[in-house]
Amino acid sequence: MLQDKQVGENYEKFYAQRSRGKLYPTEFVVRTFLANYPNLNFSKLPIGASVLDIGFGDGRNTFFLCEQGFAVSGVELTEGINTQLKKRLNKVGLDADLQVGHNSAIPFPNAYFDCILACHSCYYCNEEQTFHDNMQEYSRVLKPNGYLVASIAKSDSYIFKNAIRNADGTFTINNDPYGNRNGYRLHAFVNSEEAERMLSSYFKNFSFGVAQNDYYGIDERLIWVVCQKRMI
């Protein structure tokens, strides 16, 4: 089983190789934060709102969030990943509070954030942890009625090809074309109805979108979700 430390080291090397050039934010993030759609229930955040970018990777969405005037924090698996992004942010006069942690261990106080952005990240499960553990931790650090904006993986997405299905709904990855996640557990969903059932313990007021993108042989299938913290 691939551990957080190992996958973090894999990604640290991966992002270091992509450290040059301009970063462009993920399209669904831009559309969710800036645009209006008939089935999107999301009150646009004011300048100064506290936003956590969890699993920020190369920081493409962290830049975008900072540029909107939010008070941005971030969580990643290694200090090396954090240091890479801090240097890039500082070069253009931006800043974010970047900490080491993961989905089920977020190093911030209770009810701290107005919004969590989890772009391609919330379904990564640490050893002996589940997707429910991740969502419980997300709920803990969100303010009452705070928003979760996330992309979650569908079970027919490319990353689950030849993966081993586990009883808790996760898959142990065996065929990662990028070589970073083999042996790691990711949770997958068949459709938005299944996702809503699992998220409903901690969240309410759901908006869903679905994406299927074939990037020249990388067949990515995702569900987008926007929801608010449920007071338990």
Among 8-22, 39-53, 134-148, the range scoring the smallest mean pLDDT is 8-22
Rounded Cα distance between 78 and 89, Å, is 17
Give the range among 1-5, 25-29, 148-152, 180-184 with minimum mean pLDDT: 1-5
- What is the pLDDT, as a whole number, of residue 3? 67
- Report the range of poorest mean pLDDT among 113-117, 124-128, 139-143, 184-188: 124-128
Per residue in 55-106, pLDDT (tens digit) is: 999 999 999 999 999 999 999 999 999 999 999 999 999 999 999 999 999 9
The rounded distance, in Å, linking the Cα atoms of 16 and 122 is 22
Q: How does DSSP assign 71-114, residue by residue?
A: EEEEEES-HHHHHHHHHHHHHTT---EEEE-BTTB--S-TT-EE
Across the chain, mean pLDDT equals 95
Residue 46 makes CB contacts below 8 A (sequence gap 6+) with none
Q: Is the pLDDT of residue 13 over 90?
A: no
In this prediction, residue 88 carries a pLDDT of 94
Cβ–Cβ under 8 Å, residues 96 and 118: no
* Residue % of the chain over a pLDDT of 90: 88
- Identify which has the larger pLDDT, 5 or 107: 107
Query: Once rounded to an integer, what is the mean pLDDT over residues 8-16?
Result: 86
Tell me which residue of 201, 187, 131 sits closest to 159, measured CA to CA.
Answer: 187
Given this model, what pLDDT does residue 1 score?
Answer: 60
Q: What is the pLDDT of residue 2?
A: 65
Structural domains of the chain ordered from first start? 4-153+191-229 (3.40.50.150)
- Give per-residue pLDDT as tens, 38-55: 999 999 999 999 999 999
Question: Looking at the predicted structure, is the pLDDT value of residue 6 above 90?
Answer: no
| pLDDT, position 19 | 65
